[in-house]
Chain A
Amino acid sequence: MPTKQKGKTRFFVLIALSFLLFLSGCGEFKDIDKMVFVSMIGIDKSDNPKKPYKIILKLYVPTSSFRQNPTPQYSYLIKDGETLAETIAILEAHLDKELDFGHSKLIVLGEKMMEDEKNKEILDFLIRRPDIQMISYVAMGRPNAEEIVKFVPNGETSLQPTLFNYFGNTGAESSFIITTHLFDFRRTMNEYGIDPILPIVEINEPGSHFIIDKSIILAKDRIPYELDAEKTLFVKILADSAKSVFFTVEREGEHFVTRLDNIKPKYRVERDGNQVTIRIKIKLTGIITESRNTLDNRKLPEYNRMLEQEMKEKLNALIDEMKMKGYDPFGFGLRLQSHTLPKDRMTDQEWRTAFKNAKVEVVVKSNLKSTGSIQ
């Protein structure tokens, strides 16, 4: 009975289709104008010991036309709470719209929060919540997250928070700004042999713009260690993420500034018994951009030697300092682990002592192209 068969098929298809109507599908249907988008998340330590977290959410206020409304408008949600998820759930009740973290690009952790060793808990929440993007930037706010999140610098236009442009080479390409993504922060947090490093965001004295040139190392069970601007620069150089660096050489009566456009660091970590040797080889290419004295093009090899010595001293000093304090933002330990068989690997404790006693050999090869002046 082909017709009966056909009728049955049709009936089945109809039933199947009507079941589809009950499915909610992937995600729910929510119009975009019924959502409110979070721009930044700030997490501070509150004064109330029972509710240790203070969450600051910066919300975009949508405008229909950029031209009609060029000045930035934000609204803020602030709430203390015992746990992060709970606090955000309460904050959602304060709004008429659905809170969407899909466009939040920056997570600012307050300075006091850092000292509290709550990073794991915070990270746990940030990673678990599905609409927080793993490619968000993470930074430390000084004096606290709230001020950084609430601060709108001069010249900011609507829909484009200035603070985002500092990170990730979209706007500024400064060699003093460390960019840490959330996924990277979490990875370095859990990994042995590398310590996470976060940029420090500050506001300048008259309160007109941000300053980001310092960074902070968060070792797992030690107090965070702050790096000033110069050390941050060297960390970036060693991590091969510095684009263009101005480096001053001051020795043997000369005083000049070089612009290094091409920096290629290479390092190897070798182990012999318990003795670890870190060999760093770094190639620099650039020109001299400024000088106190008149420079002679024929003396370029001399200048190269001076630059090499200066760079070597500075790098040695930084690595020695890190060694003494036991911080490893470069990931030397990870490098060693990745190059050894599992049976030969050191435990975390062993690595720490080995790192303290490690030999460091820095080789700098510089190639200054010119003295920069036209003769």
Chain B
Amino acid sequence: MTSQETLSWVISQFNDTSEVIQKHLNYGNKQATLLFIKTLIDQELYQKYIINPFFELPSQEQYHLYLTMLPQFQEVPSKEKALQFLLEGNVLVAIQEKLYSIDFKLSKNSDVNSTSVETTIHGSELALSDNLMTNINIIRSSYHQPSLTIEYYLKGEVNRPKVALVYDQKKVRKKALQMIKEKLDRIDKQVITEAYEFNNFLNDKRFSLFPQMILTERPDRVVYNLAGGKVVLLVDGSPQCMMAPAVFFDFLTTMEDDYHTLLISYYLKLLRYLGIFLCILLPGIYIGAASFSPEVFRTELMLTIAGSRMGVPFTSFVEVLFMLFFMELLLEASIRLPKAISATAATVGGLILGTAVTEAALASNIMVIIISAVAISTFVIPVNEMAFAIRIVRFLLILTTSIFGLAGLTLGLLCIIMYLVNLSSFGEPFLRLYNYRKGDKNSEGQA
């Protein structure tokens, strides 16, 4: 197939041809045909690097040579490829029966975002951007190893975004990489817009509670995990990336842990682990102690609870569910609301509702304290995806406690631990307590 035929085939693929522009350059002994989508390319670059040299350079050969020297230059192997290049913002150049593609993609989303999900006091405030190439650029420029490998895939039948698989060839865990590649091949989805979707796409189980991959927007976390042997998945247009394999304790680590002195970072970690236990167990303990075994706590505390529950029309677990429900609503609402209103929502929900509920004796004072403590300790979990899972776990424990008391709470917690032990993330045991290969150079994702 000649280059002209290819071009006409490509044009025939488009129904609406007003966006696709074909230009024939013909001046003196020089000839070239250009094909591009007007809205996808950077017109300044096009003007500067294609049009101007065409008129300045004396011969066809020189112009041809000039084009091959451009860093954006690519050969076009097939007509399908030509169509793809065109859709990605390249300019197709047919010259001397040869077809070339020159990447002049115009992207307006390449600005680096500032961190909004994983904010820290210390460390960089910059996050990844929405543009895949910018993200690769960020990663490459802070991870200087020749073994850093980037593989591109096109996934999603309809919108076909570019997906990049980034890993360090020397450090990556081969088994996990193999599994991820296999699962990537099996993906059969129409539309893929966010990196986070791969958490479900690469998961064979339909009902899974805990995330198998860790989501991040922080380049420092990406670099840290690359060095730890994880595989990073980036999707064009998504400001977040996924990393796998992830173990439970990855989700309770912030990047700041490494920026503090040892004792401070231990203290913060302790605080975080206490927080996670508190937010899982506290509602259950309240139900178990208040309705099954009141002898567990100190007399004064028990009597205060008994006193504050006077006049409350619900039994303890309905009371807990009632308050938790409103807390969850408040959480959901404050995510959906515009930033300007969400502060008001928090005030109305948290302060006014809390006071009014106790005034109206719909819940006890102690209950309001417990719910606030639970809410605060949920926010301590540094990775948001884990916080969502924990919120569900809490309800399961409330269920077992309402039926079986404190024994049920213990049993429920054991069941959850057993479930976690049973899980694995791409061949890595999910509840791996310590990094047993730490001495090894190929040490795996300890982050």
**Interface of A toward B, CB cutoff 8 Å:** 20, 23, 25-33, 35, 37, 39, 60, 62-66, 100, 102-103, 105, 131, 133, 159-160
Output the least CB separation between A110 and chain B (Å): 24
B300 touches A20 (CB 8 A): no
Residues of B within 8 A of A28 (CB): 292
Contact of A33 among B295, B300, B306, B408 (CB under 8 A): B306
**Interface of B toward A, CB cutoff 8 Å:** 289-295, 299-300, 302-310, 312, 315-316, 365, 402-408
Contact of B316 among A26, A32, A60, A103 (CB under 8 A): A32
Bound form: Cα–Cα A29–B307 in Å:
18
Contact of A32 among B290, B403, B404 (CB under 8 A): B290
Contact of B295 among A20, A29, A133 (CB under 8 A): A133
Output the least CB separation between B405 and chain A (Å): 5
The answer to whether A100 and B294 touch (CB under 8 A), given A26-B404, A33-B310, A37-B299, is: yes
Residues of B within 8 A of A100 (CB): 294-295
Bound form: Cα–Cα A165–B91 in Å:
88
Residues of B within 8 A of A133 (CB): 295
A37 touches B303 (CB 8 A): yes
B303 touches A60 (CB 8 A): yes
A103 touches B302 (CB 8 A): yes
Bound form: Cα–Cα A63–B365 in Å:
12
Output the least CB separation between B28 and chain A (Å): 74
B312 touches A63 (CB 8 A): no
Bound form: Cα–Cα A30–B305 in Å:
14
The answer to whether A26 and B292 touch (CB under 8 A), given A31-B316, A32-B316, is: yes
What would 10 A/B residue contacts be, using CB atoms closer than 8 Å?
A26-B404, A26-B405, A29-B402, A29-B405, A33-B306, A35-B306, A37-B306, A64-B310, A64-B365, A65-B308
Output the least CB separation between B113 and chain A (Å): 45
Main secondary structure of the interface of B (DSSP, over half): helix
B294 touches A32 (CB 8 A): yes
A29 touches B291 (CB 8 A): yes
Residues of A within 8 A of B407 (CB): 25-26
Residues of B within 8 A of A29 (CB): 291-292, 315, 402, 405
B299 touches A30 (CB 8 A): no
B294 touches A25 (CB 8 A): no
Given A33-B310, A103-B302, 20 new contacts (CB under 8 A): A25-B405, A25-B407, A26-B404, A26-B405, A26-B408, A27-B405, A29-B315, A31-B315, A32-B291, A33-B312, A39-B299, A62-B304, A64-B365, A65-B365, A100-B294, A102-B293, A103-B303, A105-B299, A159-B303, A160-B300
Across the interface, name the chain B residue whose C-beta is closest to A27. B292
Output the least CB separation between A73 and chain B (Å): 11
Residues of A within 8 A of B402 (CB): 29
Across the interface, name the chain A residue whose C-beta is closest to B290. A32
Main secondary structure of the interface of A (DSSP, over half): loop
Residues of B within 8 A of A39 (CB): 299
B295 touches A103 (CB 8 A): yes
The answer to whether A32 and B309 touch (CB under 8 A), given A27-B292, A105-B299, A159-B299, is: yes
Across the interface, name the chain B residue whose C-beta is closest to A26. B407
Across the interface, name the chain A residue whose C-beta is closest to B299. A103
Output the least CB separation between B233 and chain A (Å): 32
Bound form: Cα–Cα A191–B403 in Å:
42
Output the least CB separation between A262 and chain B (Å): 32
Output the least CB separation between A295 and chain B (Å): 47
Residues of A within 8 A of B303 (CB): 37, 60, 62-63, 103, 159
Bound form: Cα–Cα A37–B290 in Å:
12
Bound form: Cα–Cα A322–B406 in Å:
49
Bound form: Cα–Cα A103–B402 in Å:
22
Bound form: Cα–Cα A62–B306 in Å:
6
Residues of A within 8 A of B404 (CB): 25-26
Output the least CB separation between B34 and chain A (Å): 58
Across the interface, name the chain B residue whose C-beta is closest to A161. B299
Q: Which of B309, B365, B406, B407 has the most CB of A within 10 A?
A: B309
Across the interface, name the chain B residue whose C-beta is closest to A63. B307
Residues of A within 8 A of B315 (CB): 29, 31
The answer to whether A37 and B307 touch (CB under 8 A), given A20-B403, A27-B405, is: no
Residues of A within 8 A of B308 (CB): 64-65
Bound form: Cα–Cα A105–B300 in Å:
12
A65 touches B307 (CB 8 A): yes
Residues of A within 8 A of B295 (CB): 100, 102-103, 131, 133
Bound form: Cα–Cα A31–B320 in Å:
13
Output the least CB separation between A66 and chain B (Å): 7
A27 touches B299 (CB 8 A): no
Q: Which of B305, B307, B308, B312 has the most CB of A within 10 A?
A: B307
Contact of B306 among A26, A32, A131 (CB under 8 A): A32
The answer to whether A159 and B304 touch (CB under 8 A), given A25-B408, A29-B402, is: yes
B305 touches A32 (CB 8 A): yes
Bound form: Cα–Cα A151–B292 in Å:
31
Residues of B within 8 A of A105 (CB): 299
Residues of B within 8 A of A160 (CB): 300
Bound form: Cα–Cα A64–B359 in Å:
12
Bound form: Cα–Cα A63–B299 in Å:
13
Output the least CB separation between A132 and chain B (Å): 10
B307 touches A31 (CB 8 A): no
Output the least CB separation between A250 and chain B (Å): 45
Output the least CB separation between B419 and chain A (Å): 16
Output the least CB separation between A57 and chain B (Å): 15
Across the interface, name the chain A residue whose C-beta is closest to B302. A103
Bound form: Cα–Cα A39–B302 in Å:
12
Bound form: Cα–Cα A27–B299 in Å:
20
Bound form: Cα–Cα A32–B291 in Å:
5
Bound form: Cα–Cα A3–B328 in Å:
37
